[in-house]
Structure 1
Amino acid sequence: MDTFQKNYWSLYLDFIRDFEGLIYRGYSLPYFCHLPSYLFPNTNLIQTLKKPEYSKNITNQLHFQKDFQKVFNQFVQSHTLKQPNKVKGKVVIHIDKLLRFTTPAIMSHFDPKQTILLSNGKLSGKPAASTAEVKQAKKNSKAVPLNTVTIHQSKVKNNHPANFKMTNKMVTLSLDNYGRNIDRDISLVQNEAVKLLKKYEGHHLYSNNAFKKWLVNNLKVVMLQIDATQRFLKHIAVSCVVVSTTHSYVNRILAVVAASKGIPSICMQHGIIASELGYLPKVATVDAVYGQYEKAWFLTHGAPEGSVEIIGHPRFDQIFQKSKVQRAVFQSKLGLDPKRKTVMIAVRGQEDIEQWRKLIQILSKNIALNILVKNYPSRSPHELTKEFPHVHSTMNYHLYDIFANVDAVIAYPSTVGLEAMISNKPVFILDKDVNGNTAYYQRLDHLMQKNTRELANQVVQYFTNPSAKKLADAKRLAFLQYAYNTEKKSMERLTGLIQRLTR
């Protein structure tokens, strides 16, 4: 671990140990309070964590990420029903922004009579400020697929979902239906937290007023979620739970409370592991990962044996469907020159804009290309499309339709690069330093560069030098053999895993 990683994981463990006495329904609450959602908006604090001297503030000194993971392994195991009987019930799929299962995929692979789609409406009480999960929760109601029907708790009879009278539509339940007033319990725990915080006056983190407010609010949201989740799992017979990420407190609570009832959980991989900070700690019974890279990575970082399986992701199954967008129409709508090769650049707002600008300038001097800029998360045309006449916005085209109609993709270390390679497109990566960098794309060798000029040179060589093109194509194929198994569709592998866990 570098200095930042060591300080980050050690500070996280300090937080858990210092507040683990805050308990509700037998659960130590700091395990569910997502500390990174407080840390990362604080730019100054993140910079301070990069300094070696910060370690003097920390009590629990960690030297390996796996030591932090082991703490969570013990927590999950302490709440896992020993020798559980396999529960006969519904497969619950928690639908949120990061799950990204398409409606056709769900409807064609899951029996409506044996499946519940779970959404998470806004729970009673003001949610904790500055948490990405809360912002996401507000959008969850919009994430529920079509061809479903919402059933309220009061209409579920005899405590068993078999009584849902549905034939061709899946049932959607909202955890919001299971929320209730637990203000007295919340006040008791919050008062305990305030007493603890007084003991830490002068602490480098806990004495900050913003932290105090964050903690008190988070305790409330987490307690509401635990209560709603327990009531949901008592009310509905569930055999397995599928979630998008256990960094979300909603999903983390769902997985742990399910484990306490002997119900297995599956956590999908929502993006490449470009940074370890988004994927540790691992919490679910099984993490369904893209490929061998992630499986080896999780096990190296402390995941229990047998808790990681190569599944891929159902949204990537769409890549293998032929695009209905004809290249001539695509070129015409975007204003592209049909005589030129087309390259798509994936950018993230204003991040690294000077490097992207320089890349475009170098490419433009050396080769005639159409250049498309895919802006994320905004759908608005990126400002670079206004600076160069041959640089265009991808407009509202779906990413996979874009891949079908371009000749190469350039990206920062993001999932877009993997998706493009699965789409049989050459990929070039502008490498960058990020906190907890895993160097995911390092197997691409020379196709990943930190130097903008050198990266541009690799793109030019690909389009002008047949031997360079042959080598780049070989690198892509070798990368995919380790990164993503395309022999079988992901949704088929996922349903097979569910069957093994529940039968």
Structure 2
Amino acid sequence: MNTFERNYWASCLDFINAFKHFSYLGVPLPLVCPYYLLVNENEAVLKKLEGKSTVMNTQITSESQIQALFDKHFAPFKKKVNNTKGKVVFYENVLRFPEQLMRANFTPSKCIMLKRKSKVYGSSSKNEIAVDSLEGYQKIQKNTINAYQRKAMVHFEKAKKHPIYSNKGFREKFIKQIPSMMIQILSAKNFFEKNQVSCLVTGTTNSSDTRILTLVAASKGIPSICLQHGVVMLEFGYLPRVATYQAVYGPSDIEWYKTKGLSDDSLKSIGHPRFDELVTRNTLSKKAFAGHFNLDVGKKTILMVIHHIETEFPEAIIENLDKKDSVNIIIKQRNGKQRKSEKTLALQKKFPHLKFADDMHLYDLLNNVDAVVSYESTIVLEAMLAKKPVYIWRLKSLHSSSTNYYEDLHMYIHDNPQTLVDQMIAVMNAQRNKNWEKRCQKFLSTHYPHKSGTSSAKLKALVDSITK
């Protein structure tokens, strides 16, 4: 644990301790607020967190303390599991469980797909999973929210000497989050009061809505499972454990979580249902794929995954490959608002001749390209599961808090664009890459050892084990 990580967790716990009485319907708002959002992109706060001289009230001497320190705050919500009758609720936020696989493994009539907002409610047939929305459970007066925001300002005035949450930007971000958190708490309370639920399945517990749902479920004796929504490159998106069980990709993740203080019996290695689609999806044919992008079928095709902020490295790779004119290049951008970032748009403008994947399904891409170039993302793991060679470039922004998830593939991680291109071209021109195949197999044996297409069934077995 480095200085930044220690200060991050200590300041987060300081905030929860100092504001633990600032709650709504029994749920402390600092406990469910996504802390990373409060400090991210705030240069003054980040500088404090990186400073060795910054002193916090909470003292953390070992990374194994982290979970236990949070468990003290979760304890009031943890009731004995006594409610295993009812429906299994899947909450949509980053769940990434393909609907057809959900229906194939779970009895639709015994499930609910819970969304934040939805225009469709219920189900159209016995083979469809009923849809419900938290939006239908929220009725809160604006003056109540305003009163809480004023109350927060008073709390902050009393704690204005703290090195982190005395920061104006930090305060403003938290106060801005208050309305949505209050609405989410009320919605969660009402949902569980009006529905009989046997188990809650989420894709994370690090957003306010997912953490609130999980804690409210626990307070009613309802067990929960949190799926691992991506590779653990930044620990702040995966800690602490809030759900009854943390479902992980493989043994390496179990060992990592245990170093943070999680108990072995709370960790379940099942992989992730979304990866099952790599073998179950009716993917595009090679001919249709080439036609869609108007590819030169005489050339190998690479998929380049770009980052919305750090575009200099992929830009240099593209320039090198353009000079060689020996491969087709397809660009995979990040989804959502990040696709419209200033740097992403500038890259598109500079290389208008390139093929951009836009909204094509990632697995249609992976199943039809010859190699993948990516920063240290979950797509690297997915490419390996699709049996594609991967060439990785290192993100500079991860330097202070990276878990080095792909450390075992260090010979394929590059800090120099030219070196990456040279290695990739040499390997792609060879008949077979036995070194990569060996490294890939060894990596997957500890990070994702599951037989392709089996994770959905393993999730079903885990749900059954705690609801029957």
Percent of aligned pairs with the same amino acid: 34
Q: Which residue does 1:481 correspond to in 2? A: 445
CA contact (8 A) 2:283 2:363 kept: no
- 1:274 corresponds, among 205, 223, 233, to 233
Instruction: Describe the SS at the equivalent of 1:372.
Output: strand
Q: Which residue does 1:198 correspond to in 2? A: 157
The root-mean-square deviation of aligned C-alpha atoms, in Å, is 2.7
Alpha-carbon deviation of 1:16? 1.2
Q: Deviations over 1:419-478 (max 9, x none)?
A: 1111110111112241420111111130122232332232123124557x2101211111
CA separation of 1:15 and 1:455: change in aligned 2, threshold 3 A: same
C-alpha distance in structure 2 between counterparts of 1:474 and 1:312, whole Å: 21
Q: Which residue does 2:100 correspond to in 1? A: 104
Alpha-carbon deviation of 1:250? 0.9
CA contact (8 A) 1:348 1:375 kept: yes
C-alpha distance in structure 1 between counterparts of 2:227 and 2:355, whole Å: 34
2:356 is the counterpart of 1:393 = yes
What is the letter of the counterpart of residue 211 of structure 1?
F
Q: Which residue does 2:121 correspond to in 1? A: 150
What is the 5 A alignment of 1:427-466?
A: 427-433=390-396, 434=398, 435-465=400-430
Q: Which residue does 1:495 correspond to in 2? A: 460
Q: Which residue does 2:223 correspond to in 1? A: 264
C-alpha distance in structure 2 between counterparts of 1:177 and 1:395, whole Å: 33
Alpha-carbon deviation of 1:85? 2.6
C-alpha distance in structure 2 between counterparts of 1:203 and 1:49, whole Å: 12
2:256 is the counterpart of 1:297 = yes
What is the letter of the counterpart of residue 3 of structure 2?
T
CA separation of 1:89 and 1:457: change in aligned 2, threshold 3 A: same
Alpha-carbon deviation of 1:297? 1.1
CA contact (8 A) 2:254 2:264 kept: no
Q: Deviations over 1:113-167 (max 9, x none)?
A: 211111223xxxxxxxxxxxxxxxxxxx37xxxxxx615xxxxxxxxxxxx9963
2:272 is the counterpart of 1:313 = yes
What is the letter of the counterpart of residue 132 of structure 2?
L
C-alpha distance in structure 2 between counterparts of 1:184 and 1:373, whole Å: 48
What is the 5 A alignment of 1:206-285?
A: 206-285=165-244
C-alpha distance in structure 1 between counterparts of 2:380 and 2:212, whole Å: 32
Q: Which residue does 1:404 correspond to in 2? A: 367
2:327 is the counterpart of 1:369 = yes
CA contact (8 A) 1:345 1:374 kept: yes
- 1:416 corresponds, among 366, 371, 379, to 379
CA contact (8 A) 1:266 1:288 kept: yes
5+ unaligned residues in a row in structure 2: which ranges? Answer: none
Alpha-carbon deviation of 1:286? 0.7
Q: Deviations over 1:335-368 (max 9, x none)?
A: 322111111111023x332211222333455672
Q: Which residue does 1:171 correspond to in 2? A: 130
CA contact (8 A) 1:93 1:116 kept: yes
CA contact (8 A) 1:379 1:396 kept: no
Instruction: Describe the SS at the equivalent of 1:49.
Output: helix
CA contact (8 A) 1:370 1:390 kept: no
C-alpha distance in structure 2 between counterparts of 1:408 and 1:69, whole Å: 39
Moved more, 338-347 or 324-333: 324-333
2:63 is the counterpart of 1:65 = yes
CA contact (8 A) 2:33 2:207 kept: no
CA contact (8 A) 2:39 2:170 kept: no
What is the 5 A alignment of 1:76-155?
A: 76-82=74-80, 84-96=81-93, 98-121=94-117, 141=118, 150-151=121-122
Q: Which residue does 1:146 correspond to in 2? A: none
CA contact (8 A) 1:323 1:400 kept: no
2:435 is the counterpart of 1:471 = yes
**TM norm structure 2:** 0.90
Instruction: Describe the SS at the equivalent of 2:254.
Output: helix
C-alpha distance in structure 1 between counterparts of 2:310 and 2:33, whole Å: 32
Instruction: Describe the SS at the equivalent of 2:306.
Output: strand
CA contact (8 A) 1:385 1:392 kept: no
CA separation of 1:94 and 1:337: change in aligned 2, threshold 3 A: same
C-alpha distance in structure 2 between counterparts of 1:396 and 1:212, whole Å: 37
Q: Deviations over 1:285-304 (max 9, x none)?
A: 11111122211111111112
Alpha-carbon deviation of 1:372? 1.7
C-alpha distance in structure 1 between counterparts of 2:79 and 2:359, whole Å: 47
Alpha-carbon deviation of 1:413? 0.5
5+ unaligned residues in a row in structure 1: which ranges? Answer: 122-140, 143-148, 152-163
C-alpha distance in structure 1 between counterparts of 2:128 and 2:420, whole Å: 50
Instruction: Describe the SS at the equivalent of 1:223.
Output: helix
CA contact (8 A) 1:317 1:490 kept: yes
CA separation of 1:444 and 1:341: change in aligned 2, threshold 3 A: same
CA contact (8 A) 1:367 1:460 kept: no
Alpha-carbon deviation of 1:110? 1.9
Number of positions where the alignment pairs a residue of Structure 1 with one of Structure 2: 460
CA separation of 1:410 and 1:440: change in aligned 2, threshold 3 A: same
Instruction: Describe the SS at the equivalent of 1:36.
Output: helix
Instruction: Describe the SS at the equivalent of 1:440.
Output: coil
C-alpha distance in structure 1 between counterparts of 2:146 and 2:234, whole Å: 37
Moved more, 308-317 or 59-68: 59-68
Alpha-carbon deviation of 1:242? 0.6
CA separation of 1:44 and 1:456: change in aligned 2, threshold 3 A: farther
CA separation of 1:408 and 1:382: change in aligned 2, threshold 3 A: farther
